[in-house]
Amino acid sequence: MSSVDDAAGEQGALLALDDVKPPAPRGRRKAALGAQEMASELPVARVLLDLQPAHLDREYDYLVPASMADGAQPGTRVRARFGAQEVDGFVVARLASSEHDGRLVPLRRLVSAEVVLTPPVLRLVRAVAERWAGTTADVLRLAVPPRHARTEKEPAPDADDAPATPAPASWAGLWAPYRGGEAFLGHVARGGAPKAVWTPLPGLAPALEDGGVPTVTHWAAAVALAARAAVTAGRGVLVVVPDARDAGRVAAAVEAAGVPDVVRLLAEDGPAPRYRAFLAAARGRARVVVGTRAAMFAPVADLGLVAVWGDGEDTLAEPHAPYPHARDVLALRSDLEQAAYLLGSPGRTAAAQALLAGWAHEVVAPREVVRARAPRVRALTSTELAAEGPGAAARIPTAAWRAARDALAHGPVLVQVPRTGYLPVVACVRCRTPATCDACHGPLALGSGTAAPQCRWCGRLAAGWRCGECGSSGLRAVRVGSERTAEELGRAFPGVPVRVSTSTAPGGVMDRVPGRPAVVVATPGAEPVADGGYAAALLLDAAVATAAPGLDGATRALHRWLAAAHLVRPATAGGQVLLVGDAAPGPTGALVRFDPGGFADRELAERIELALPPAVRVAAVTGDRASVAALVGRVPLATPEATLGPVDVEQDAPGDGSLFDGAPVRVVVRVPSQHGLELARQLRASQAVRSAHREPGTLRVRLDPEELL
DNA sequence: TCACAGTAACTC
DNA sequence: AGTTACTGTGAG
């Protein structure tokens, strides 16, 4: 036994018996062997360790060496011995004594004296782990970014004590058209914690007097005013958005609204800027944090408002265990920290609608206001076009070409295409069997050159492809991508610039385009804002959008269409939206009426009827058959009536074939919402048993799975 | 009688 | 997870 352990052992015994005595070094022997002195005040640190196994998910007590007495405060990063290994952790409390009745071992190292895990965030982390049946360590990894030592040592930037400047006069009254809008804002300004699900009006905010900020969307300006209200009340603000572009837009709007100390927190900026922004929040310098998903855990001090923009975008769903969704994490957080909650989106998910059942208020504008601000929307379905003759069945029917041409005389035209690429999905020309890769069975796509089809999963070229069913070597397009669409539009409108805004386009995703005539081809979520608004938008391949598998296909499609429609001028200014292709009637009608709330209301009613989420709480357990059975077998709430499956699931994502040992199956456990937390607890307990017993195989437990069926 | 594998327990 | 302590059966 090492000298350190020896000393600690005696210290531990002392601690276990009576209250801690300052650990006076007793005897030459220990001093000679290098025993450490322990802190004289609060010599015990309770630590959350970064341990993977579920059954180790609890706190452990360590002795605090005298050298760390001041530094190892709650919230700091430490390293400690755990069994034979040394692991990272966070101090969560300093105590006079421990309840542990074994020996205590001293902390090994104070990694940094920076307090990075604040008490409110710790409470949130615990609540998220519980609610999504995950481990605290997993959630901590999402909540606290990796340390960047150099950034930590940087001198604090000169405190620009820029006082808040007045809000732009032209933005006054942005919330006035909404029922409950001014009330919400006032409540926030008085330091209250109202909760709102908000359907913003489309279009752009009034231009600023000083012209300092170009084209700000109405929603971003409205969010900025809400942030300003909370800051006025002396509290902090957190805004979570789907991507960096939106973060830039909101941050610019908040600054334009005269609010100082705005910080962007984006994972994609890289470790140093990310940690810098995180530290600014942790040190209380940032009063408004605008960021993407991971920012939902940002340690904003005295949080007064959390806002989530773009519910319905899949980037708000955390892809790492335990897969919490920003919408729900922030709802939880707003309750835990008595902060206001604002959920806004062009569309509305069933989950957002469910928040209106007793938790949040709906903030929407009356119909006549919506009608006055929205563009005119037409659905060019094939029945509607039947009279038109040959052009009706085309991907872009004659009526759409005509509308685009007319609109181009007045400004830019947005063309939304569901997919990037040229011909991203191809099939056998004769029997229409989808063309797949011989090597990995991934889908084949055709590029714009004359090159051979290429696998979208493994990248292999399929030169000399032949249909596995009929032997034909000819290919036909099943889907047309943004590149090919841009090419067609360029030919159709010679002299008009065609710009492509997609992740794979040469220029990437564009933030903004000028108000001059141009065709702008974009994939959903990548639409640039046009100065002055688009004269028209064409939403192509509508049927593709609503045919997406899963419960949320229609909701998602409607969201994408509305998001594009938001960028178009009002009907009174000639703005027009054309939905092209036969989509499901539900979302089509909702787009024409510009009514995501009504759609979500019907959607939720249907789910209540069918006992589908979010009307019920659902957990999906995926893995090899034996593991799934064992895990679910220990969950009392998983009664036969509450359990669906197991069903075989195919792992269709490229390259995650090795995730599970055997053929994966999935069991779905479905319980009434009020039993949701208990279900999560039971699943967590069962996973702890599983890890303690070292049951073989691989498993994934997911609450509120986004994709079902 | 000792060996070593399979297993149960523990880690502050 | 990583490690150790502890059963049990088997060859010598």
Q: What tokens appear for A422 in the block?
A: 């040229």
**What is the spatial distance, in angstroms and rounded to an integer, between the CA atom of A694 and the C1' atom of B9?**
12
Q: A525-548 pLDDT, tens per residue?
A: 899 999 999 999 999 887 777 777
Among A279-288, A461-470, A500-509, A656-665, the range of highest mean pLDDT: A279-288
- Rounded (10°) angle between helices A585-593 and A596-610: 150
**What is the spatial distance, in angstroms and rounded to an integer, between the CA atom of A649 and the C1' atom of B10?**
37
For the cut 50, the answer to whether the pLDDT of residue A16 exceeds it is no
**Chain A residues 26 to 65 with C-beta below 7 Å from nucleic strand B:** 53, 55-56, 59-63
Q: What is the pLDDT of residue A29?
A: 35
Amino acid in the structure at residue A445 = A
For chain A, give me the number of helices (H) and strands (E)?
21, 28
- Average pLDDT for A247-265: 94
**Range name among A70-84, A161-175, A425-439 with the lowest pLDDT average:** A425-439
User: What average pLDDT does chain A have?
Assistant: 86
Q: What is the pLDDT of residue A160?
A: 61
Percentage of chain A surpassing pLDDT 70?
88
- Lookup: nucleotide whose C1' is closest to A83 CA: B11
The residues near A367 (Cβ < 8 Å, ≥ 6 apart) are none
**Range name among A237-246, A563-572, A690-699 with the lowest pLDDT average:** A690-699
Q: What is the pLDDT of residue A391?
A: 58
Q: Among A335, A63, A373, which Cα is nearest to A194's? A: A335
**How far is residue A307's CA from residue A143's CA, in Å, rounded to a whole number?**
17
Percentage of chain A surpassing pLDDT 90?
59
- Lookup: nucleotide whose C1' is closest to A51 CA: C1
Q: Give the SS3 label for residue A31.
A: helix
**What is the spatial distance, in angstroms and rounded to an integer, between the CA atom of A653 and the C1' atom of B8?**
38
Q: Tell me how crowded residue A406 is: count the other CB atoms within 10 A of its CB.
A: 14
A692 CB neighbours strand C below 7 A: yes
**A391 or A277: which leads in pLDDT:** A277
Q: What is the pLDDT of residue A588?
A: 93
**What is the spatial distance, in angstroms and rounded to an integer, between the CA atom of A83 and the C1' atom of B5?**
23
Beta strands in A442-493 (DSSP E): 444-445, 454-455, 475-479
Q: Give the SS3 label for residue A228.
A: helix
For the cut 90, the answer to whether the pLDDT of residue A593 exceeds it is yes
For the cut 50, the answer to whether the pLDDT of residue A583 exceeds it is yes
**How far is residue A294's CA from residue A145's CA, in Å, rounded to a whole number?**
9
Q: What tokens appear for A109 in the block?
A: 């190292």
For the cut 80, the answer to whether the pLDDT of residue A394 exceeds it is no
For the cut 50, the answer to whether the pLDDT of residue A611 exceeds it is yes
Q: Among A308, A106, A336, which Cα is nearest to A227's? A: A308
Q: A553-566 pLDDT, tens per residue?
A: 899 999 999 999 99
Dihedrals φ, ψ of A282, to 5°? -60, -35
**A210 or A208: which leads in pLDDT:** A208
Beta-sheet pairing, A643-648 with A664-672:
antiparallel
Q: How sure is the predictor about A359, in pLDDT bands with cuts at 50, 70 and 90?
A: very high
**What is the spatial distance, in angstroms and rounded to an integer, between the CA atom of A299 and the C1' atom of B11?**
31
Q: A372-387 pLDDT, tens per residue?
A: 999 999 988 766 666 6
- CA angle at residue A118 from A114 to A123, to 5 degrees? 150
Q: What is the pLDDT of residue A30?
A: 37
**What is the spatial distance, in angstroms and rounded to an integer, between the CA atom of A629 and the C1' atom of C6?**
30
Q: How sure is the predictor about A584, in pLDDT bands with cuts at 50, 70 and 90?
A: confident
Q: Give the SS3 label for residue A81.
A: strand
A691 CB neighbours strand C below 7 A: yes
- Average pLDDT for A509-513: 87
Amino acid in the structure at residue A38 = M
**A137 or A162: which leads in pLDDT:** A137
**A487 or A207: which leads in pLDDT:** A207
What is the pTM (predicted TM-score) of this model? 0.89
Residue pair A414/A536 in contact by the 8 Å Cβ criterion: yes
Residue pair A630/A699 in contact by the 8 Å Cβ criterion: no
Strand C footprint nucleotides (protein C-beta < 7 Å): 1-4
Q: What is the pLDDT of residue A479?
A: 72
- Average pLDDT for A9-27: 38
Q: Provide the CA A702 distance to its chain's centre, in angstroms.
A: 16
Q: A512-529 pLDDT, tens per residue?
A: 889 899 889 888 989 999
Amino acid in the structure at residue A628 = V
